[in-house]
Structure 1
Amino acid sequence: MAIITLTTDFGTKDHFVGAIKGTIYRELEDAKIVDISHNISPFNIQECAYILKNSYKAFPEGTIHIVGVDSEPTTENKHLAVLVDGHYFIAANNGVISLITASIKPDKVVEIKIPNPAHGSFPVLDVFVQVACHIARGGTLDVVGKNFNELRELKEFSPRITNDGKTIVGSVIYIDNYGNVISNIQRSLFDAYRAGRKFELQARNKRLYEVHNKYSDIINFELEPQSRKGPGDLLALFNSAGYIELAIYKSDLNTVGGASSLLGLNYRDTIIVNFL
């Protein structure tokens, strides 16, 4: 039996997640359900895409991913089922799929057309679960929909190259549980334009001149402890997903604060790299 994952902005206070799981189990008693996250910020497509893009590859091929963010259907937000990179995604055409598949061409995309669909306020339960269970039973996408080639793209989330290649203007796409700030500037883009030059990373009134590979790289262990950088100091690094991230070493967002609160950075705020 295929794995079915759930990624939503429903939270865990209400009945939504329980109803989804119960319905899947009613249809497939031996289903394997995995929660990726139910704490996506409401309607935040970029945040949803970041989490999905950096988690789905850890699952085996054939996994079915239900995406319950901004899922109410409209003429501009059609329901889709997508096969890409060996995985199935069931989501609305709100841009989340195009952000996941920016560098991978989908094998198949269909607009979901199931018989007698419910037209209520809970389409993840009424539509997405039906499609997921159909696929999990070995069903094909051709049965649940018709071919679709108008994936909505959200290009405004891409970094901009300015100043004749001397500047990358990025933005904040995600803030994690530690208050670490993740930009949309990927290491591959940074390396492509750096060309061996020194650089300045600018966020609000802070300037950084080094990007580390792990958090503890900020510490020079050759120095005496009292002379080292350490907990409470700001650093930049290429995180495990390959994006430039700003962090306060060993911070706690709920007590002393994290990079987001201490630098005053929020979703879609600007982060700039200037090559010198």
Structure 2
Amino acid sequence: MPATHRGVTLVRRIVTLLTDFGTSDGYVGQMKGAILQRSGDCQLVDITHEIPPQNVGLAARALGSSWKHFPVGTVHLAVVDPGVGTDRDILAATVAGHFFVAPNNGLLSAIIEARPADEADRRIISVDVDRFFDSPTSNTFHGRDIMGPVAGMLAAGVPIAQLGEPFTGQLIELPSLVVGVDAEGVRTEVAAIDHFGNCSLATTFEFESWFATKRRVRAQLPSSTESVYLEVCRTYGQQPAGANVLLTGSQGEIEIAVVNGNAAEKFQLSVGDSVTLA
């Protein structure tokens, strides 16, 4: 006989986890335990726990590039929460058939606002913490004590409307990355650096259109007074090992890479660095 909650038949869902906790402590395990207490047979999938501490921007990017690869009905829990313990809202949202749980600090704004406000299944709830969490909660670990349990309840099939009231406040938005395109070229910035040292650049439609006409690009980087030349290619194997290249990476953004090498180390690039291409 399937389990029920307030007359609702509970179901088994996937729950994805994205945090800045790292894996050297017990934090991830504790949060998973809190989820499993509410949904013992859900499937937990780690997107990453290696977001740099308190870096909401990179967390939002990682979530934004990952959630669509999961089945409809998946619950996505994102906890990068510099404001933990303050009066900021904790949100539960449904967008395009997926569920999201995160603090209102910019983690979800791009995902939510990319969908029409009148979309039938787009709902945003401000979680009623006092109603669902009577026992003392840590002032510094809402991922374990509030958001994890909320994700577990959603994974068990508890209707999102039962978790609180409709959110009527202001969604916190993250600052836009700087991209400029004109006759002289492109001014952009390093938006993310992956495990391989590939440097994703802030990318717009205008940047993509400019890039599509190029075979070789001259780059001005912060670490050098001299220009660096980048070969435009479709994939790394089109150029020999050690070549400096510019291509569209797997996340859909234009990136600086070194074939079989590490562009971030070679060019001493960091997230936020300005890059000029011509």
> Under a length normalisation based on structure 2, what TM-score does the superposition of the two structures give?
0.82
Which of 234, 251, 257 is residue 213 of structure 1 equivalent to? Answer: 234
Q: CA RMSD in A?
A: 2.4
Counterpart CA distance in 2 for 1:22 and 1:129 is 8
**In the superposition, relative to structure 1, how do residues 231 and 32 fare at CA in structure 2: closer, same or farther (>3 Å)?**
same
Stretch of structure 1 that moved more, 191-200 or 49-58:
191-200
Which of 155, 159, 184 is residue 202 of structure 2 equivalent to? Answer: 184
> Under a length normalisation based on structure 1, what TM-score does the superposition of the two structures give?
0.82
Query: Where does 1:65-144 land on structure 2 (aligned, <5 Å)?
Result: 65-70=76-81, 72-75=84-87, 77-101=88-112, 103-105=114-116, 107-114=122-129, 115=131, 117=133, 118-144=137-163
Secondary structure of 1:47's aligned partner: helix
Which of 37, 41, 52 is residue 26 of structure 1 equivalent to? Answer: 37
Gaps of 5+ in 2: 1-11
Which of 239, 257, 269 is residue 247 of structure 1 equivalent to? Answer: 257
Which of 253, 260, 264 is residue 260 of structure 1 equivalent to? Answer: 264
Counterpart CA distance in 2 for 1:189 and 1:103 is 19
Query: Where does 1:160-199 land on structure 2 (aligned, <5 Å)?
Result: 160-161=179-180, 163=182, 166-186=184-204, 188-192=205-209, 196=213
Instruction: In structure 2, give the amino acid aligned to 1:74.
Output: T
What percent identity do the matched residue pairs reach?
31
Counterpart CA distance in 2 for 1:123 and 1:28 is 18
Contact 1:166 1:193 in 2 (8 A): no
Stretch of structure 1 that moved more, 111-120 or 23-32:
111-120
Counterpart CA distance in 2 for 1:103 and 1:270 is 27
Contact 2:203 2:254 in 1 (8 A): yes
Counterpart CA distance in 1 for 2:275 and 2:228 is 10
Instruction: In structure 2, give the amino acid aligned to 1:154.
Output: L
Report how far residue 238 of structure 1 moved.
0.5
Counterpart CA distance in 2 for 1:140 and 1:166 is 53
Instruction: In structure 2, give the amino acid aligned to 1:36.
Output: I
Paired residue total: 253
1:2 aligned onto 2:6? no
Contact 1:185 1:243 in 2 (8 A): yes
Counterpart CA distance in 2 for 1:92 and 1:247 is 34
Q: Deviations over 1:154-210 (max 9, x none)?
A: 1332x33255x6543221121111111111114x33234568578644333443354
Gaps of 5+ in 1: 219-229, 252-257
Counterpart CA distance in 2 for 1:260 and 1:99 is 27
